[in-house]
Amino acid sequence: MTDRWALAPAEEGGVDVAPLGPDGLPAGPVRREPDLAEAVRSRPGVRRWVWRSTTEVYPRLLATGVRVERVYDIEAAETLLLGHEGRYGEPRAAAAALARLRGGPVPPDPPQRQAEPGAQPSLFEPQSVPLPLADLLAVYAEQQRRTGATAHPDRMRLLTAAESAGMLVAAEMNHAGLPWRADVHRAVLHDLLGERYAGGGEPRRLAELADEVSAAFGRRVRPDLPADVVKAFAQAGIKVSSTRRWELESVDHPAVEPLIEYKKLYRIRVAHGWSWLQDWVRDGRFRPEFHAGGTVTGRWVTNGGGALQIPKVIRRAAVADPGWRLVVADADQMEPRVLAAISRDPGLMEVAGRETDLYQAVSDRAFSGDRAQAKLAVLGAVYGQTSGDGLKNLAALRRRFPKAVAYVDEAARAGEEGRLVRTWLGRTCPPAARTTDDAVEEAGIPPTEEDRASDTRPWTPGYASTDARARGRFARNFVVQGSAADWTLLLLAALRRTLGGMAAELVFFQHDEVIVHCPEAEAATVVEAIRQAAELAGRLTFGRTLVRFPFTTAVVECYADAK
DNA sequence: AGTTTCGGCGCC
DNA sequence: AAAGGGCGCCGAAACT
């Protein structure tokens, strides 16, 4: 009995399975069995399943109560490998990989399914080319060879394993859902927006604010129409180029205050109001569809319900089941800690080697104790700030933490020049297509006055174009945000393993924050499990490092009470 | 009439 | 004074 098996769904709910040897090659004949779930359930000794797509297979297993320990997701690995090989534009599906292997015509990727409000989580992927197990195994063997050919095969293996684990976690979260009290949600909406009038129309509070706005302008103005608002201000002798809040805040006019309040509440209504409740909450659970690896940086995305943007006030409705708790865990200053780990800047590593407030420590060293300024400088360095106070702060940061700033600077330069940029574990940033802007620059044509007017930096020969600099900022951010995503995947994988034997379930994940739903008696164990998982993830991802990855954890009944 | 883009803002 | 990364969501506006 080997501990690694491959499977491929077959017709009529059946499945083909095959044992694999330590080398990843078949160690026995392919067997056809009538029931997918039973084939997995009857092999509890399997430590890792190799399959084409977790999204395709795992929901069907979860629906019958079957969980697996580990997987190798061939589609995910193919995406990562193609990226690493600088072949971003090519079709990523396993079927395409097989076709390339055999030198035949390469089929395009299957189209992405669109989110539909209220739709059941998809049990099956959209039309994709079914792949017989023998073909799948050929692709798998070739992927292992390609993994061995990368710059850091050990890291790439870790990355594919972590991405696969992330897909398991995402499927399990989709299965579980986030505990959600519709009655509490309705109470919050009523509290904020007032009662709704019969026959549609706006709720009372919104209608009142709209009236206040109109009264301030002396005519009927629709506050939800930016064009109408801009026109109304113009008629009042005030020139605004948009109705963004930061712009309105500097305007002195009686309409501003009710307008800003209106926009705030309007947003709650359209994005998380009564129809949201109707669409995304069923049986006491909010059910978005988490999708691991949905962005090029490795961050997750969700499909439906804006699950990664739940406004703070609405979190009041995320409430644990009776007798259960939500363990809400938030990584402290994750991005600068990751920057310390990947850049190996001695000063920043020393600062990140403590569990105390990192921004305070940075400010003590480089900003005479001004924490807010230190935080802006660090985030500016990570986000590619190019103007204002940011530049001055960046200079201070560079003096004290030169290797850290040099690391992101180098990433930005590589991005500008169209070179490949990778996260710590090897996820690769797609080089953007060349633009006409680039071509113009390379042809040595100086920019027009208009170009320069829209630019923040003076033009000099050899300077990158506006587009190239945008790519530079993207690449600068990519190495930090992406390496952070590497780490969080390992964290999730480690945490998932620890929770394996418990009633606790992972129910939410958002970039640097996880929520575990568990019986009250398990909460303390879960808190400790998160701490240990963070430590293990740090070691696995970055090797031996001084950098610590502390979490702020809260054991609460309601998500809104966590901060 | 149906589809795509835009504006504004929520989260990290 | 007001700019710099990643996403998703909705209604309105702008298209085909």
Query: Whole-angstrom Cα distance, residue A3 to residue A424?
Result: 29
Q: What is the pLDDT along chain A (563 residues), one digit of tens a residue?
A: 579 999 999 988 899 999 999 888 899 999 999 999 999 999 999 999 999 999 999 999 999 999 999 999 999 999 999 999 999 889 899 999 999 999 999 988 876 655 555 554 444 445 566 789 999 999 999 999 999 999 999 999 999 999 999 999 999 999 999 999 999 999 999 999 998 876 667 889 999 999 999 999 999 998 988 888 998 999 999 988 888 888 888 889 999 999 999 998 998 888 889 888 988 999 999 998 899 988 889 999 888 888 888 998 999 999 999 999 999 999 999 999 999 999 999 999 999 999 999 999 999 998 888 888 888 888 888 887 766 666 778 888 999 999 999 999 999 999 988 899 999 999 999 876 555 555 555 555 555 544 444 443 333 334 567 778 888 888 999 999 999 999 999 999 999 999 999 999 999 999 999 999 999 999 999 999 999 999 999 999 999 999 999 999 999 999 999 97
Query: Whole-angstrom Cα distance, residue A12 to residue A34?
Result: 8
The strand pair at A48-51 and A71-73 is best described as parallel
Q: Is the CB of A114 under 7 A from strand B?
A: no
How many CB atoms lie under 10 A from the CB of residue A64?
12
Measured CA to C1', what is the nucleotide nearest A241? B7
- Tokens 């590497």 map to which residue? A486
Longest dimension (CA), chain A: 82
pTM: 0.92
- H/E stretch holding A508: strand A505-509
Residue A119 is given by DSSP the state P
Q: Which residues pair with A72 in a beta bridge?
A: A50
Residue A89 CB contacts under 8 Å (≥ 6 apart), including other chains: none
Task: Please write the tens of the pLDDT for every residue from A29-83.
Answer: 999 999 999 999 999 999 999 999 999 999 999 999 999 999 999 999 999 999 9
Cβ atoms of residues A423 and A485 within 8 Å:
yes
- The predicted structure's pLDDT at residue A198: 64
Query: Whole-angstrom Cα distance, residue A83 to residue A216?
Result: 55
Measured in angstroms, what separates residue A548's CA from nucleotide B7's C1'? 41
Query: Whole-angstrom Cα distance, residue A69 to residue A491?
Result: 15
Q: Is the CB of A226 under 7 A from strand B?
A: yes
- The predicted structure's pLDDT at residue A114: 53
Task: Please write the tens of the pLDDT for every residue from A300-323.
Answer: 988 888 888 899 899 999 999 999
466-485 of chain A touching strand C, CB 7 A cut-off: 470, 473-474, 477, 481
Query: Whole-angstrom Cα distance, residue A510 to residue A494?
Result: 17
Q: Is the CB of A548 under 7 A from strand C?
A: no
Fold for A183-277, please state it. Answer: Taq DNA Polymerase; Chain T, domain 4 (1.20.1060)
Query: Whole-angstrom Cα distance, residue A550 to residue A531?
Result: 7
Q: What share of chain A is helix, strand, coil (3-state, %, to 5)?
A: 50, 10, 35
Question: Would you list the domain boundaries of chain A?
Answer: 4-176, 183-277, 288-333+486-562, 335-482
Query: Whole-angstrom Cα distance, residue A550 to residue A352?
Result: 10
- The predicted structure's pLDDT at residue A133: 95
Query: Whole-angstrom Cα distance, residue A53 to residue A434?
Result: 33
Asked whether the domain spanning A288-333+486-562 has the same topology as the one spanning A183-277, the reply is no
Q: Is the CB of A245 under 7 A from strand B?
A: yes
**Residue A281 φ then ψ, to 5°:** -110, 125
- H/E stretch holding A264: helix A256-272
| CA angle, A370 then A372 then A375, to 5° | 110
Measured in angstroms, what separates residue A394's CA from nucleotide C14's C1'? 41
Measured in angstroms, what separates residue A138's CA from nucleotide B4's C1'? 41
Strand C: list positions under 7 Å from protein Cβ. Answer: 1-13
Q: Is the CB of A295 under 7 A from strand B?
A: no
Query: Whole-angstrom Cα distance, residue A362 to residue A397?
Result: 9
SS3 A354: coil
Q: Which CATH number fits domain A288-333+486-562: 3.30.70.370, 3.40.640.10, 3.10.310.10, 3.30.930.10?
A: 3.30.70.370
Nearest of A497, A478, A501, A484 to residue A541 by alpha carbon: A484
Q: Is the CB of A383 under 7 A from strand C?
A: yes
Task: Please write the tens of the pLDDT for every residue from A382-411.
Answer: 887 766 666 778 888 999 999 999 999 999
Q: Which residues pair with A291 in a beta bridge?
A: A301
Residue A288 is given by DSSP the state -
Residue type, A135: D
**CATH code of the domain made up of A4-176:** 3.30.420
Would you give the distance in Å from CA A375 to the centre of its chain? 22
